[in-house]
Amino acid sequence: MEALAVRHLTVTYPECAAPVLSDVSFELAQGDFAVLCGATGCGKTTLLRMLKRELTPLCTQQGTVSFCGKPLPELDARTSASEIGFVMQHPEQQIVTDKVWHELAFGLENMQTPPDIMQRRIAEIASYFGIEALLDRDPATLSGGQKQLLILASVMIMQPRLLLLDEPTAQLDPIAAADFLTTLHRLNQDFSVTILLAEHRLEEVIPLCSQLLLMEHGTVTMQDAPRSLLKNLPSDAPVLAGMPAAVRLYHALHPDCECPISVCEARTWMMPLLPKPIAAEIPQPKADNRPDAVSVSGAYFRYERRGRDILQDLSFSVREGELYCMVGGNGAGKSTVLSVLSGILRCYAGQVMIFGKAVGDYKHRSLHQNCVSLLPQDVQTVFLCNTAAEELAETDRNYEKLLAHFPFDLAPLMQQHPYDLSGGEQQLLALAKVMLTQPRLLLLDEPTKGLDAQSKARLADVLHGLQTQGVTILLVTHDIEFAACHADRCGFLSRGALISADIPTRFFSENAFYTTAVSRITRGFYQQTVTVEQLCAQVQDI
């Protein structure tokens, strides 16, 4: 049975000459688990919002969207609200109450559900999602993964037949993201819920999906079962760079087997066909005598006088000109570390030094004058103006000259309101604005969030270019592969303390969960191999 049908959908925003969606056509059957992928700004979020009547943006629309054979405009309000669920990228934008159980009850109350049925559904959904212990908690006190799970539960309690999700794992650590996707797959299998998920992090989700949709320049260009589609992708297709490591290795090494789409399939089908590696000594890191740009020793911080310590005996250092990536679970204290280094928060004990000077000794905003700049996790907090051009001009009127070598084309965004941009475009605009401050120490909180693989590669070029100019970069990220490919050193933060740090190859090859897919694929076959490029180089050298 057809659950969703989009035919020749073209969407144009007011005062825009070109459409954001152009002749989009695809169908999903009841029970499909479909993944929508494509470059940053290609129209994924707009397409999803066009499928949920209550979220349809102000626009000119041509073409049709049908749900279970009925055009969206003809659905009654109750059906539209309850049978088509939507989970946003930022859970904070969807939480509306002060208790977890109130959040679960909110939709049912608006549907005038009888109290006894409502209570039974809340108990049932809380048990299914394993959030019974959280029912009396304030959602604001939950971790990122718990918030996203709460939003999913509050949507699923309405018992929708179609579930739309816009990059729901973008702010989750690798383990929480995998748990969330497993829950989605379970919902799909248990209840035959049709799922359409827009996502950039494809490593975990593609092995779970039944349909893969590729989007380019505002239109869906390909739709098929994932293995078939990925096997037939041209080896030079730009979208290939964002696919699971198993798929990229298949296209790079051309083994005589089916195209693997998961770590297990790659280990079983592909690795035995590759030549045996030659034993080699593990290279030792070179001595680095550069002075410290950041030095933290025995730091403690808590948000409330009688609350728990968020940072506990935190000690670490970042050398001048280094690209240092800090990883760890949601709630470990990574964003707090950046706020302390930027002077927004002050530790109650310990020492925090920036370029050999205590943070507290920087007076009259000197810490932020060509010294330290922070790109926060919620980039919308840096936007104050009505257009992207005004945002950049507010920081420096000569922004065009200063951003002449910025590798992203911001011209199409200049006259748009920052809040009208996609998540990835907002990330790029905020990065450009921060770079205009010309800092010596650049602090980045999840800078790859919402970016496609090509944009991440260009971001890496920007960061390495800053390094050559002597800029020190401390980057907090859940993007393990980005850290493995581009960091000079990586550190793991747990419960407010940095418990280990090393060069990426050694760091990730010794981790079991916070590691790359390539490391899991090659473990037991090749030593110290954590990226696709490293494995390909080893195979070619044999």
Residues 371 and 453 in one domain: yes
Does a structural domain hold residue 161? Answer: yes
Single pTM value for the model: 0.88
Residues 435 and 383 in one domain: yes
pLDDT digits (tens, 9 = 90+) for 147-160: 888 999 999 999 99
d(CA 507, CA 484) in angstroms, rounded, equals 9
> Which residues is 213 bridged to in the sheet?
36, 223
Does a structural domain hold residue 120? Answer: yes
Confidence of residue 284 (pLDDT cuts 50, 70, 90): low
Collapse the DSSP code of 10 into the 3-class scheme (helix H, G, I; strand E, B; otherwise coil) and give the result. strand
Residues 192 and 248 in one domain: no
pLDDT digits (tens, 9 = 90+) for 361-377: 888 788 888 899 999 98
pLDDT digits (tens, 9 = 90+) for 10-67: 999 887 888 999 999 999 999 999 999 998 888 999 999 999 999 998 889 999 999 9
Q: Indicate if the alpha-carbon torsion angle 143, 352, 475, 343 is positive or negative.
A: positive
Per-chain mean pLDDT for the chain: 90
Q: 69: domain range?
A: 2-232
Residues 494 and 531 in one domain: no
| Residue bearing the bigger pLDDT, 34 or 283 | 34
Question: Do 108 and 157 meet the contact criterion of CB atoms below 8 Å apart?
Answer: yes
| CA-based nearest residue to 203, from 237, 169, 235 | 169
Residues 301 and 335 in one domain: yes
Q: Which residue has the tokens 């092995």?
A: 207
Does a structural domain hold residue 122? Answer: yes
Last residue of some domain: 232, 255, 274? Answer: 232
Does a structural domain hold residue 507? Answer: no
Please check the confidence at residue 500 and state whether its pLDDT lies above 90. no
Residues 373 and 458 in one domain: yes
Percent of the chain having pLDDT more than 70?
98
Residues 488 and 521 in one domain: no
Residues 317 and 247 in one domain: no
Amino acid at residue number 306 = R
Give the CATH number for residue 339. Answer: 3.40.50.300
Q: Which residue has the tokens 């109450």?
A: 97
Q: How many domains does the chain have?
A: 3
| CA-based nearest residue to 279, from 542, 516, 520, 517 | 542
Average pLDDT over residues 232-243: 88
Q: Where are the beta strands (DSSP E) in 89-244?
A: 162-166, 194-198, 211-216, 219-224
Both tokens of 7, joined, read 């035919």
Average pLDDT over residues 117-134: 92
Both tokens of 476, joined, read 């907090």
Does a structural domain hold residue 508? Answer: no
Last residue of some domain: 216, 232, 248? Answer: 232
| CA-based nearest residue to 491, from 478, 482, 500 | 500
At 36 the pLDDT is: 96
Residues 251 and 218 in one domain: no
Lowest mean pLDDT among 40-44, 79-83, 266-270: 40-44
Residues 272 and 360 in one domain: no
Residues 272 and 393 in one domain: no
Residues 141 and 120 in one domain: yes
> Which residues is 500 bridged to in the sheet?
492
Confidence of residue 406 (pLDDT cuts 50, 70, 90): confident
